[in-house]
Amino acid sequence: MQIKVELPDDIARHADPGHEALEALAIEGYRSGALTHYQASQLLGLSRFEFDGFLKGRNVYDHAYDAEDLEQDLETLRQLEAGGLLGRP
């Protein structure tokens, strides 16, 4: 889908105003919870780790991976192992 946005002249004179607007949209969408990490990274064409670096480079630490996320990932791993879905003996 293509979306057209009218930018004020002072912003339109930036080197890449369209990409700047897209980055701002991704950051605010992720920060507010309107976009998931995956959706925001896809919006910018970045991998999960590249998006993490992008956020860190802009001092955005909202929703950073924390101990609760680790516990959820470990539980998922345990479930996958128990179900034989990881291909381990």
Q: What is the pLDDT of residues 1-45, one digit of tens each?
A: 888 888 888 988 999 998 999 999 999 998 888 988 899 999 999
| φ and ψ of 28, to 5 deg | -70, -35
82/27 Cα distance (integer angstroms): 37
> For the chain, what's the residue count?
89
Q: Is residue 74 part of a domain?
A: no
Q: What residues contact 63, with CB distance under 8 A and at least 6 apart?
A: 30, 31, 33, 37
The total number of structural domains that make up the chain: 1
Task: Tell me how far the alpha carbon of residue 28 is from its chain's centroid.
Answer: 10
Q: Is residue 81 part of a domain?
A: no
Q: Is residue 33 part of a domain?
A: yes
Q: Is residue 88 part of a domain?
A: no
Helix (H) or strand (E) holding 48: helix 48-57
Q: Is residue 50 part of a domain?
A: yes
Domain ranges, residue 43: 9-63
- On whether the pTM is more than 0.85, the answer is no
Q: Is residue 73 part of a domain?
A: no
pLDDT tens per residue, range 40-76: 999 999 998 899 899 999 888 766 666 777 888 899 8
